[in-house]
Structure 1
Protein backbone atom coordinates (compact mmCIF):
# COMPACT_ATOMS: atom_id res chain seq x y z
CA UNK A 1 0.00 0.00 0.00
CA UNK A 2 2.82 2.36 0.92
CA UNK A 3 4.73 1.58 -2.28
CA UNK A 4 1.63 2.41 -4.32
CA UNK A 5 1.36 5.77 -2.60
CA UNK A 6 5.05 6.52 -3.16
CA UNK A 7 4.78 5.51 -6.83
CA UNK A 8 1.73 7.75 -7.32
CA UNK A 9 3.52 10.71 -5.76
CA UNK A 10 6.58 10.11 -7.97
CA UNK A 11 4.44 9.97 -11.12
CA UNK A 12 2.64 13.17 -10.10
CA UNK A 13 5.95 14.91 -9.34
CA UNK A 14 7.51 13.87 -12.67
CA UNK A 15 4.42 15.02 -14.56
CA UNK A 16 4.45 18.40 -12.85
CA UNK A 17 8.15 18.87 -13.56
CA UNK A 18 7.73 18.04 -17.24
CA UNK A 19 4.71 20.35 -17.59
CA UNK A 20 6.57 23.17 -15.85
CA UNK A 21 9.61 22.75 -18.09
CA UNK A 22 7.45 22.71 -21.21
CA UNK A 23 5.67 25.87 -20.08
CA UNK A 24 8.93 27.68 -19.29
CA UNK A 25 10.79 26.62 -22.39
CA UNK A 26 7.98 27.16 -24.89
CA UNK A 27 8.26 30.25 -27.04
CA UNK A 28 5.39 32.64 -26.46
CA UNK A 29 4.73 35.67 -28.59
CA UNK A 30 1.92 37.94 -27.49
CA UNK A 31 2.76 40.57 -30.11
CA UNK A 32 1.48 38.55 -33.08
CA UNK A 33 -2.22 39.33 -33.27
CA UNK A 34 -2.96 36.97 -36.19
CA UNK A 35 -1.61 33.93 -34.40
CA UNK A 36 -3.49 34.76 -31.22
CA UNK A 37 -6.85 35.10 -33.00
CA UNK A 38 -9.05 32.05 -33.62
CA UNK A 39 -9.15 30.63 -37.14
CA UNK A 40 -12.57 29.51 -38.32
CA UNK A 41 -12.73 27.81 -41.72
CA UNK A 42 -11.00 30.57 -43.66
CA UNK A 43 -13.31 33.38 -42.54
CA UNK A 44 -11.68 36.55 -41.25
CA UNK A 45 -12.38 36.51 -37.48
CA UNK A 46 -11.65 40.21 -37.06
CA UNK A 47 -14.54 41.37 -39.28
CA UNK A 48 -18.25 41.06 -38.54
CA UNK A 49 -19.53 37.65 -37.53
CA UNK A 50 -22.76 38.11 -39.53
CA UNK A 51 -21.28 37.38 -42.96
CA UNK A 52 -23.44 35.36 -45.36
CA UNK A 53 -22.64 31.65 -45.32
CA UNK A 54 -22.07 29.86 -48.61
CA UNK A 55 -25.09 27.69 -49.31
CA UNK A 56 -23.07 25.77 -51.92
CA UNK A 57 -20.55 24.73 -49.26
CA UNK A 58 -23.39 23.51 -47.05
CA UNK A 59 -24.97 21.46 -49.86
CA UNK A 60 -21.66 19.82 -50.73
CA UNK A 61 -21.17 18.93 -47.06
CA UNK A 62 -24.64 17.34 -46.92
CA UNK A 63 -23.95 15.34 -50.08
CA UNK A 64 -20.68 14.14 -48.57
CA UNK A 65 -22.48 13.03 -45.41
CA UNK A 66 -25.08 11.11 -47.41
CA UNK A 67 -22.45 9.16 -49.33
CA UNK A 68 -20.37 8.69 -46.21
CA UNK A 69 -23.32 7.09 -44.44
CA UNK A 70 -23.85 4.95 -47.54
CA UNK A 71 -20.41 3.42 -47.10
CA UNK A 72 -21.21 2.67 -43.47
CA UNK A 73 -24.40 0.90 -44.55
CA UNK A 74 -22.60 -1.25 -47.13
CA UNK A 75 -20.38 -3.05 -44.62
CA UNK A 76 -23.23 -4.88 -42.85
CA UNK A 77 -24.57 -6.00 -46.23
CA UNK A 78 -21.27 -7.73 -46.93
CA UNK A 79 -21.16 -9.30 -43.48
CA UNK A 80 -24.68 -10.76 -43.62
CA UNK A 81 -24.08 -12.29 -47.03
CA UNK A 82 -22.73 -15.46 -45.40
CA UNK A 83 -25.66 -15.84 -43.01
CA UNK A 84 -28.64 -15.19 -45.27
CA UNK A 85 -30.04 -16.56 -48.49
CA UNK A 86 -28.12 -15.31 -51.49
CA UNK A 87 -31.26 -14.32 -53.42
CA UNK A 88 -32.62 -12.21 -50.57
CA UNK A 89 -29.22 -10.59 -50.09
CA UNK A 90 -28.98 -9.86 -53.82
CA UNK A 91 -32.41 -8.19 -53.98
CA UNK A 92 -31.76 -6.14 -50.86
CA UNK A 93 -28.39 -4.90 -52.08
CA UNK A 94 -29.74 -4.12 -55.58
CA UNK A 95 -32.59 -2.04 -54.13
CA UNK A 96 -30.06 -0.19 -51.95
CA UNK A 97 -27.76 0.49 -54.91
CA UNK A 98 -30.64 1.60 -57.12
CA UNK A 99 -31.78 4.14 -54.54
CA UNK A 100 -28.23 5.48 -54.31
CA UNK A 101 -27.80 5.65 -58.09
CA UNK A 102 -31.15 7.40 -58.55
CA UNK A 103 -30.11 9.93 -55.88
CA UNK A 104 -26.73 10.46 -57.56
CA UNK A 105 -28.41 10.93 -60.95
CA UNK A 106 -30.83 13.48 -59.45
CA UNK A 107 -27.98 15.45 -57.86
CA UNK A 108 -26.09 15.38 -61.14
CA UNK A 109 -29.13 16.68 -63.07
CA UNK A 110 -29.71 19.45 -60.52
CA UNK A 111 -26.08 20.59 -60.86
CA UNK A 112 -25.15 19.92 -57.25
CA UNK A 113 -21.96 18.16 -58.29
CA UNK A 114 -20.59 21.11 -60.32
CA UNK A 115 -18.02 22.42 -57.85
CA UNK A 116 -16.41 24.90 -60.25
CA UNK A 117 -19.40 27.25 -60.40
Structure 2
Protein backbone atom coordinates (compact mmCIF):
# COMPACT_ATOMS: atom_id res chain seq x y z
CA UNK A 1 0.00 0.00 0.00
CA UNK A 2 2.69 2.49 0.98
CA UNK A 3 4.76 1.38 -2.01
CA UNK A 4 2.32 3.23 -4.26
CA UNK A 5 3.49 6.52 -2.78
CA UNK A 6 7.18 5.83 -3.42
CA UNK A 7 7.26 7.64 -6.82
CA UNK A 8 5.68 10.72 -5.23
CA UNK A 9 8.21 10.65 -2.40
CA UNK A 10 11.08 10.27 -4.87
CA UNK A 11 9.73 13.17 -6.94
CA UNK A 12 9.54 15.41 -3.86
CA UNK A 13 13.06 14.47 -2.75
CA UNK A 14 14.61 15.02 -6.20
CA UNK A 15 12.77 18.29 -6.83
CA UNK A 16 13.65 19.68 -3.40
CA UNK A 17 17.28 18.65 -3.84
CA UNK A 18 17.47 20.17 -7.30
CA UNK A 19 15.90 23.40 -6.07
CA UNK A 20 18.37 23.65 -3.20
CA UNK A 21 21.34 22.91 -5.48
CA UNK A 22 20.27 25.62 -7.92
CA UNK A 23 19.63 28.20 -5.19
CA UNK A 24 22.82 27.56 -3.23
CA UNK A 25 24.94 27.12 -6.37
CA UNK A 26 23.75 30.39 -7.83
CA UNK A 27 24.38 32.17 -4.56
CA UNK A 28 27.86 30.70 -4.07
CA UNK A 29 29.12 30.60 -7.65
CA UNK A 30 27.28 33.53 -9.23
CA UNK A 31 29.10 36.74 -10.10
CA UNK A 32 28.89 39.51 -7.53
CA UNK A 33 29.76 42.78 -9.23
CA UNK A 34 27.29 45.38 -7.98
CA UNK A 35 27.55 48.88 -9.38
CA UNK A 36 25.39 51.98 -9.26
CA UNK A 37 23.51 51.05 -12.44
CA UNK A 38 22.55 47.60 -11.18
CA UNK A 39 21.43 48.89 -7.79
CA UNK A 40 19.34 51.77 -9.16
CA UNK A 41 15.56 51.45 -9.54
CA UNK A 42 14.50 50.54 -13.06
CA UNK A 43 11.36 51.90 -14.68
CA UNK A 44 10.95 51.15 -18.38
CA UNK A 45 14.42 52.31 -19.39
CA UNK A 46 14.48 55.73 -17.73
CA UNK A 47 14.93 57.15 -14.26
CA UNK A 48 12.10 56.72 -11.77
CA UNK A 49 10.18 59.98 -11.54
CA UNK A 50 7.56 59.27 -8.87
CA UNK A 51 7.17 57.42 -5.62
CA UNK A 52 6.67 53.65 -5.88
CA UNK A 53 3.56 53.95 -3.70
CA UNK A 54 1.62 56.15 -6.11
CA UNK A 55 -2.05 55.14 -6.60
CA UNK A 56 -3.03 53.32 -9.78
CA UNK A 57 -5.88 54.42 -11.96
CA UNK A 58 -9.00 52.34 -11.38
CA UNK A 59 -9.00 51.36 -15.07
CA UNK A 60 -5.94 49.24 -14.38
CA UNK A 61 -7.96 47.09 -11.98
CA UNK A 62 -10.94 46.96 -14.35
CA UNK A 63 -8.74 45.64 -17.13
CA UNK A 64 -7.34 43.06 -14.69
CA UNK A 65 -10.88 41.93 -13.84
CA UNK A 66 -11.70 41.73 -17.55
CA UNK A 67 -8.66 39.53 -18.12
CA UNK A 68 -9.75 37.22 -15.30
CA UNK A 69 -13.27 36.98 -16.75
CA UNK A 70 -12.03 35.83 -20.15
CA UNK A 71 -9.27 33.66 -18.70
CA UNK A 72 -11.77 31.79 -16.52
CA UNK A 73 -14.09 31.37 -19.45
CA UNK A 74 -11.46 29.69 -21.59
CA UNK A 75 -10.08 27.64 -18.70
CA UNK A 76 -13.49 26.09 -17.95
CA UNK A 77 -15.38 26.09 -21.25
CA UNK A 78 -12.80 24.34 -23.41
CA UNK A 79 -12.39 21.20 -21.23
CA UNK A 80 -16.16 21.16 -20.66
CA UNK A 81 -16.78 21.21 -24.41
CA UNK A 82 -14.41 18.28 -24.92
CA UNK A 83 -16.44 15.99 -22.61
CA UNK A 84 -19.92 17.48 -23.06
CA UNK A 85 -21.45 14.36 -24.61
CA UNK A 86 -20.26 12.24 -21.69
CA UNK A 87 -21.54 14.45 -18.85
CA UNK A 88 -25.06 15.20 -20.08
CA UNK A 89 -27.75 17.81 -19.60
CA UNK A 90 -27.07 18.80 -15.94
CA UNK A 91 -23.64 19.96 -17.04
CA UNK A 92 -25.29 22.12 -19.70
CA UNK A 93 -27.29 23.97 -17.05
CA UNK A 94 -24.28 24.26 -14.76
CA UNK A 95 -22.23 25.80 -17.57
CA UNK A 96 -25.13 28.08 -18.51
CA UNK A 97 -25.13 29.39 -14.93
CA UNK A 98 -21.38 29.87 -14.99
CA UNK A 99 -21.49 31.73 -18.29
CA UNK A 100 -24.38 33.83 -16.95
CA UNK A 101 -22.17 34.98 -14.09
CA UNK A 102 -19.38 35.80 -16.56
CA UNK A 103 -21.80 37.76 -18.76
CA UNK A 104 -22.88 39.71 -15.67
CA UNK A 105 -19.20 40.50 -14.94
CA UNK A 106 -18.68 41.56 -18.55
CA UNK A 107 -21.70 43.91 -18.42
CA UNK A 108 -20.35 45.37 -15.17
CA UNK A 109 -17.01 46.05 -16.87
CA UNK A 110 -18.79 47.61 -19.84
CA UNK A 111 -20.86 49.91 -17.62
CA UNK A 112 -17.78 50.98 -15.63
CA UNK A 113 -16.02 51.99 -18.84
CA UNK A 114 -13.20 49.45 -18.85
CA UNK A 115 -13.65 48.96 -22.59
CA UNK A 116 -13.27 52.68 -23.35
CA UNK A 117 -9.76 53.73 -24.33
CA UNK A 118 -8.68 57.35 -24.25
- Normalising to structure 2: TM-score of the pair? 0.51
Question: 1:27-46 alignment to 2 at 5 Å?
Answer: 37-40=40-43, 44-45=47-48
Give the whole-Å Cα distance in 2 for the aligned partners of 1:66 and 1:58. 12
* Structure 2 counterpart of 1:26: none
Q: Give me the whole-angstrom Cα distance separating, in 1, the residues matched to 2:90 and 2:72.
A: 22
In 1, distance between residues paired with 2:70 and 2:82?
Answer: 19
Q: Would you say how many aligned residue pairs link Structure 1 and Structure 2?
A: 92
**Could you say which structure has the larger radius of gyration?**
1
Contact 2:63/2:114 (8 A) holds in 1 = yes
Distance 1:106 1:47, change over 3 A: closer
- The verdict on how the C-alpha distance between 1:49 and 1:106 changes in structure 2, with shifts beyond 3 A counting, is closer
1:93 is aligned to: 95
Q: Which runs of 5+ in 2 are unaligned?
A: 1-30
In the TM superposition, what is the alpha-carbon distance from 1:42 to its structure 2 partner? 7.6
Q: Does 1:108 align with 2:106?
A: no
Partner of 1:76: 79
The yes-or-no answer on 1:50 pairing with 2:50 is no
Alignment gaps of 5+ in structure 1: 1-22, 24-29
Contact 2:69–2:106 (CA<8 Å) still a contact in 1?
no
Higher helix share: 2
CA separation of 1:59/1:105 partners in 2, compared to 1, >3 Å: closer, same or farther?
closer
Secondary structure of the residue aligned to 2:63 is: helix
